[in-house]
Amino acid sequence: MIQQLVAVQLQCNKRSFSDQPKVTPWPLGADPHSRDARQQRLAHLTELAIISVQEIVDFANQAARRYNHETECITFLKDFTYSKDDFHSAGLQVEFINPIFEFSRAMHLLGLDDAEYPLLIAINIFSADRPNVQEPSRVEALQQPYVEALLSYRHQAATGPAPLPANAHEAGEPAHPRFRALGAGLCFTTPGQEAAAFAV
């Protein structure tokens, strides 16, 4: 199961802005205070955000992992980096900007590797404490295998060999043998549950 999650995550990581539909360009050379430039900046970031939300549904939201602690910037779709000032210049209010960057910074500090991150995404997707969930127990049943897989993975990380390095795919490193063993041994889902996971 873990191998399948990582494979989906890595496949989505290969996507770049050039693979996505064209979005409104960021205005260059225009009066930065003009109404048109402000609306164009907002449209640019909004369209990128829409694409990013679609990537979440497709199991590929990278915003939290693309936070650069040194520059305090977030990279969208691997190609475009923006600071808090960029978000503010697009018309977003501080009360909306700060939580985005605080969340991204907190995720960065967790130092999740390439197996932990998609497991955490899966746990979040199958969260029963969302509004209007009709059958929380069924959602929790779908979530439980991913919780158990993450707990087992973290336990082996503490007691066994070193975990899969963060961003190992970018360095061209192969999956660690322990990671491969986990992928073979932690198949908690039934075929129906697995299909439901990848249909989200």
Taking the C-alpha atoms of residue 69 and residue 49, their distance in angstroms, rounded to an integer, is 21
Taking the C-alpha atoms of residue 167 and residue 117, their distance in angstroms, rounded to an integer, is 10
Taking the C-alpha atoms of residue 145 and residue 189, their distance in angstroms, rounded to an integer, is 6
Going by C-beta distance under 8 Å and a sequence separation of 6 or more, which residues neighbour residue 31?
A: 37
Domain 14-110: state its class: mainly alpha
pLDDT tens for each residue of 91-141 = 878 888 888 788 888 888 888 888 888 888 888 888 888 888 899 999 999
pTM over 0.85, yes/no: no
Taking the C-alpha atoms of residue 63 and residue 18, their distance in angstroms, rounded to an integer, is 17
Residue ranges of the domains in the chain? 14-110, 116-199
Per-residue pLDDT, 141: 93
pLDDT tens for each residue of 119-132 = 888 888 888 888 88
Taking the C-alpha atoms of residue 28 and residue 160, their distance in angstroms, rounded to an integer, is 52
Residue 31 confidence class, pLDDT cut points 50, 70, 90: confident
Which two three-digit tokens encode residue 140?
């929790």
Amino acid at the residue 141:
A
Taking the C-alpha atoms of residue 44 and residue 93, their distance in angstroms, rounded to an integer, is 16
Taking the C-alpha atoms of residue 194 and residue 4, their distance in angstroms, rounded to an integer, is 10
| Residue % of the chain over a pLDDT of 70 | 62
Amino acid at the residue 46:
T
Per-residue pLDDT, 9: 64
pLDDT tens for each residue of 154-193 = 888 888 655 555 555 444 443 444 333 333 333 333 334 4
